[in-house]
Amino acid sequence: MIYFDNAATSYPKSDAVIAAVSEHIVRSGGNPGRSGHRLASAAAEAVFDAREAVGGMMNITGPQNVIFTSGATAALNLALLGTARYGDHIICTNLEHNSVLRPLYFLRRNRSVGVSYVDALCPDDELIARITRAITRRTRMIVTLHASNVCPRVLPISRIGEVAHRHGLIYVVDAAQSAGVFPIDTLRDGADIVCIPSHKGIGGIQGAGVAAFADGFDFARLNGVTYGGNGVNTVYGEMGNTPPESYEAGTLPVPAIVSMTAGIADIGNMGLTAVAAHENMLRMRLCNGLNRLGARIYGEGLGRGGTIMFNADGIGGSDLADRLASVDICVRAGMHCAPLAHDALQTGGDAVRVSFSHANTADEVDEFISALSEILKKQ
């Protein structure tokens, strides 16, 4: 099997991640923050370790600023719905995933929030100019992805963060595709809130996400979006504003959280620079092969991310993905939950996406090109 669908979820998981999850389930599988016995305490300590690991990855010193959710989508819902007020204006880009677009749509429909969608298919200098021009006196927030899930575009989040802070705006970064690949530093990048999943570049298992808040974030500005039991102050109806528990209702996905600690350690051992360089090499090798086959690549020269979308003449993207699946090559076709990006890249709404991880090899890329060539010959 060749697995080129890492933008959906990373595969395979490392031995260290598998061992960490198994060890936790067997030896410390209590419910953290609910009881005082050994298993609950062990689980709570493991969750705290994960908060420190995630915070350490983003230059956040307060573990309480790392809030766990069920995934990056839930983290973005917390970040966006938890901070936007009635009548605000928010700026995003035309590359955003539906995990950003749909909460913004909700805010437009239900809180009269205005949204500006800035075209990010341009050089960085122009992008910064476009974002700056979009700012109005009602603007409260800028939310952008870091790395696109459909093309190699990687946005200049440090520069966007500088614009946001110069204008007193909150900056939310959707780092679903960049965490574990490109460095994210909340202080250097001016990111107030960074949202990541457990199961993509971090290399953990599915089931958790993080909304990470920069040191000094004023949690009085954040309303929770999930209400329920959290193990403290039970008699009160209000969830409060004390992180993280006020924003973590319900049982935490502890196995997935534990997997993040192991995954982050793996990434630390490899080094982010090496991971990004490897994925960049694979992407360039793939593009060379696709160009030889006459494939239509979308956004090829846009950046250094490890994701490429393409189509071939005479066969639709979904059909091509099915043919590749029949020879045990895993890719994703369709719109990839990024409708505006597909519009902007003019894909016709159905393209094949190849997304790499550090576990993929150059030989796999060559094998992919060979298999694709055979499929296209039969067309």
Partner 1 sequence: MESRIIVIGTNTTAIKARRILSSDGIAARTVRVSRSSEGCRYGVEVYSRDLDRALMVLHLGGVEYSGVI
In terms of CB distance, is 63 or 255 closer to partner 1?
63
Among 63, 224, 306, 317, binds partner 1 (CB under 8 A): 63
Q: Does 288 interact with partner 1 (rule: CB under 8 A)?
A: no
Give the footprint of partner 1 on residues 193-232 (CB under 8 A): 231-232
CB-based contact 185:59 (threshold 8 Å): yes
Shortest separation between residue 251's beta carbon and partner 1, angstroms: 13
Within a 10 A sphere around the Cβ of 240, how many other Cβ atoms?
A: 14
- The 72-111 site mask, x for binding partner 1 (CB under 8 A), equals ----------------------------------------
Find the binder of partner 1 among 59, 64, 226, 241 (CB under 8 A).
64
CB of 258 to partner 1, least distance (A): 15
Decide: is 55 part of the binding site for partner 1 (CB under 8 A): no
Please give the size of the binding site for partner 1, defined by CB under 8 A: 20
Q: Nearer to partner 1 by C-beta: 242 or 326? A: 242
- Minimum gap (Å) between residue 375 Cβ and partner 1: 52
Instruction: Determine contact, residues 314/296, Cβ cutoff 8 Å.
Output: no
Question: What is the radius of gyration, based on Cα positions, of the chain?
Answer: 21
Q: Tell me, residue by residue from 145 to 184, as one string, x for binding to partner 1 by CB under 8 A and - for no binding.
A: ----------------------------------------
Beta pairing partners, 310: 297, 352
- Could you tell me if 67 and 213 are in contact, meaning their C-beta atoms sit under 8 angstroms apart? yes
Which of 30, 71, 156, 244: binder of partner 1 (CB under 8 A)?
244
Residue 299 CB neighbour total at 10 angstroms: 22
Residue 159 has a CB neighbour count (10 Å cut-off) of 16
The DSSP code sequence of 184-210 is: --HHHHT-SEEEEESSSTT---SS-EE
Compare residues 218 and 234 and give the one whose CB is closer to partner 1: 234
| Interacting residue with partner 1 among 136, 242, 269, 379 (CB under 8 A) | 242
Strands (E) across 222-373 are located at: 296-298, 307-311, 329-330, 332-334, 351-355
Under rule CB under 8 A, residue 233 binds partner 1: yes
Half-sphere exposure of 98 (CA within 13 A, CB side): 6
For residues 13-52, which are near partner 1 according to CB under 8 A?
32-33, 35-36, 41, 44-45, 48, 51
Task: Report the C-alpha gap between 67 and 370 in whole angstroms.
Answer: 45
Name which of 245 and 367 has its Cβ closer to partner 1.
245
Beta bridge partners of 174: 145, 195
The phi and psi torsions of 165 (rounded to 5 degrees) equal -75, -30
Closest CA to 327 of 3, 109, 105: 3
Residues that bind partner 1 (CB under 8 A): 32-33, 35-36, 41, 44-45, 48, 51, 63-64, 231-236, 242, 244-245
